């Protein structure tokens, strides 16, 4: 139960006589009012009595103890500049608090404002579910959507405020509204509302008890909000920790029977050689080879060997590789935004369409066939390619292309096509890891729109396990993330 529900339940208990004990010395509520205002016990069967009340309480018709009509009003132009003015925005919903005033000079000219006096209750008839009910501490003016209510002797103002803010009264008002978009309480029906009234002394005890409980409920609400925030953050934080453990070889056990990652890289080199012979791949002019020499990681480029600083230790059967080493293609979409519209021949995909779950096809635009052919000749995304946002605020979001059909891509998205000897799901999860995300963010540059360039993406260091272990890592991550997601859903339902 959240704090609002708890407070609502306490208010309901208060107006049913269940919050404070009754005292026979208090007398009866019936002695406070004219007999015509009181619903007699013998008349109960003729009315829809919502709940039973203590014997010394009475049900009183609201129209007998206050008047919803006849409130005086004035034009806004004649309200003094130093007047106390309350508009709907100055009343906080559900709390009974005034949270500001309105400058009289900012009132709409020609509008009417109700006049109210200290000693009334201000009730907002507009959208009664917002539950805006306050007691002003001085004379003033208010919107005509706010009704000043003056009560007969025998009614404690703070007690009647409690009744008007109770679930019992709010439900009654919502059953008696007019207007769909801007519902207003039908004030004529308000006169028929049955107010549960205790003796005056008990009214004051109820108010005192609620004033005692209110800070406790508010504190409960504060702790509950903090707990909800913590629960909401635990899932993503836990996933990040698990991803980081996964790419460091700490999630699943290594299997000595499996081929090492070095042999996997050799297969990728052979695959690239075949594609080069068939002129299906462009030669990398800056090929990198990473290995261990004398217990240190080194990188060989153009025959020159240099010590490589790696971000963390990995298992012996793993290796490090530049992202471009394990990929057949890394490119991006068109750098010139082409003419596009809601109708066309081919989908035009940009960063706004890239989500963790796949490509979002809402708010799509399209390009013509001729424009698409020009873009696709350089950047040809196919199903299974990795799409990585490299420009702007959402840089780092990555997904796998789940579409069968061709589409044109904007330069804000990089296309990453891993070798068939690399599990692309493993690559995606590695990119989502804190290590990779932080690396990307640190490499971003630019003016109005920051970005990470393709050459920097190509140079990212990827921890590479044997292929079978990549599969096990992906499977274990899927298993653990499903458990985390289920716990988050349960937590939301409890909240």
Averaged pLDDT, 224-232? 83
Give residue 494's pLDDT. Answer: 55
d(CA 386, CA 292): 29
Summary mean pLDDT of the chain: 92
Of the two residues 245 and 492, the one the predictor is more confident about is 245
Give residue 71's pLDDT. Answer: 82
pTM confidence score: 0.64
Q: Is the pLDDT of residue 488 over 80?
A: no
Phi, psi of 188 (to 5 degrees): -65, -35
Say if 3-219 and 261-466 have the same CATH topology.
yes
d(CA 211, CA 7): 12
Averaged pLDDT, 22-26? 93
Averaged pLDDT, 29-33? 88
d(CA 392, CA 332): 14
Q: How many CA atoms lie within 13 A of 275 on its CB side?
A: 16
Q: What's 261-466's CATH class?
A: alpha beta
The two three-digit tokens of residue 50, written as one number? 């919502």
d(CA 93, CA 74): 26
Residues in CB range of 427: below 8 A, 6 or more apart? 326, 386, 416, 418, 462
pLDDT digits (tens, 9 = 90+) for 236-251: 899 999 999 999 999 9
pLDDT digits (tens, 9 = 90+) for 429-467: 999 999 999 999 999 988 888 999 999 999 999 999 999
Q: Is the pLDDT of residue 495 over 60?
A: no
Give residue 485's pLDDT. Answer: 86
Please, which pLDDT band fits residue 489 given cuts at 50, 70 and 90?
Answer: low
Q: Which long-range contacts (CB under 8 A, 24 or more apart) does 479-484 make?
A: 480/242, 481/239, 481/242, 484/235, 484/238, 484/239
Where do the structural domains in the chain lie, given as residue ranges?
3-219, 261-466
- Cβ proximity of 184 and 62 under 8 Å: no
d(CA 379, CA 457): 16
Q: Is the pLDDT of residue 419 over 90?
A: yes
Q: Is the pLDDT of residue 491 over 70?
A: no
Q: In sequence order, what DSSP letters do the residues of 25-64 get, joined into one string?
A: GG--GGGGS-GGGEEPGGGGGGS---S---TT-EEEEHHH
Fold of the 3-219 domain = Adenine-n6-DNA-methyltransferase TaqI; Chain A, domain 2 (3.90.220)
Averaged pLDDT, 346-363? 94
Q: Is the pLDDT of residue 312 over 60?
A: yes
3-state secondary structure of 432: helix
The two three-digit tokens of residue 402, written as one number? 């789940």
Give residue 487's pLDDT. Answer: 73
């Amino acid at each position: 139960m959240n704090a609002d529900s708890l407070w609502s339940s306490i208010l309901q208990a208060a107006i049913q006589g269940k919050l404070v004990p009754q005292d026979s010395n208090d007398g009866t509520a019936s002695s406070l009012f004219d007999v015509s205002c009181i619903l007699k016990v013998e008349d109960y069967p003729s009315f829809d009595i919502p709940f039973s009340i203590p014997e010394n309480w009475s049900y009183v018709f609201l129209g007998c103890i206050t008047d919803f009509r006849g409130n005086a009003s004035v034009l806004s132009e004649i309200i003094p500049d130093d007047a106390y003015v309350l508009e709907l925005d100055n009343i906080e919903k559900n709390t009974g608090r005034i949270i500001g005033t309105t400058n009289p000079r900012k009132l709409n000219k020609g509008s009417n404002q109700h006049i109210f006096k200290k000693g009334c209750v201000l009730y907002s008839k507009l959208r009664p579910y917002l539950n805006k009910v306050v007691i002003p501490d001085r004379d003033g003016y208010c919107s005509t959507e706010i009704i000043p209510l003056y009560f007969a002797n025998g009614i404690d103002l703070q007690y009647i405020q409690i009744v008007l803010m109770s679930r019992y009264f709010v439900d009654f008002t919502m059953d008696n509204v007019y207007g769909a978009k801007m519902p207003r309480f039908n004030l004529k029906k308000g006169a028929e509302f049955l107010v549960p009234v205790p003796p005056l002394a008990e009214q004051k005890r109820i108010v005192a008890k609620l004033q005692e409980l209110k800070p406790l409920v508010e504190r409960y609400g504060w702790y509950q909000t903090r707990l909800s925030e913590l629960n909401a953050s635990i899932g993503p934080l836990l996933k990040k920790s698990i991803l980081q453990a996964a790419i460091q070889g700490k999630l699943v056990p290594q299997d000595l029977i499996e081929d090492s990652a070095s042999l996997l890289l050799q297969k990728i080199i052979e695959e690239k050689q075949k594609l080069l012979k068939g002129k299906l791949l462009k030669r990398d002019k800056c090929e990198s080879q990473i290995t261990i020499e004398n217990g240190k990681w080194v990188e060989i480029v153009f025959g020159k060997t240099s010590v490589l600083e790696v971000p963390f230790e990995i298992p012996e059967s793993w290796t490090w590789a530049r992202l471009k080493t394990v990929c057949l293609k890394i490119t991006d979409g068109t750098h010139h935004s082409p003419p596009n519209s809601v109708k066309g021949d081919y989908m035009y995909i940009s960063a706004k369409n890239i989500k963790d779950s796949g490509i979002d096809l809402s708010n799509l635009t399209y390009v013509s066939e001729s424009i698409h052919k020009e873009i696709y000749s350089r950047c040809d995304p196919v199903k299974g390619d990795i799409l990585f946002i490299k420009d702007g605020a959402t840089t780092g979001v990555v997904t796998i292309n789940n579409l069968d059909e061709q589409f044109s891509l904007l330069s804000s998205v990089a296309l990453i096509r891993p070798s068939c000897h690399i599990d692309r799901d493993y690559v995606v999860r590695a990119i989502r890891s804190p290590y990779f995300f932080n690396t990307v963010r640190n490499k971003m540059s630019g003016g109005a729109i920051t970005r990470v360039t393709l050459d920097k993406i190509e140079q990212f260091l990827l921890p590479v396990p044997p292929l079978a272990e990549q599969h096990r890592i992906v499977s274990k991550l899927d298993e653990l993330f499903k458990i985390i997601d289920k716990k988050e859903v349960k937590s939301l339902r409890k909240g």
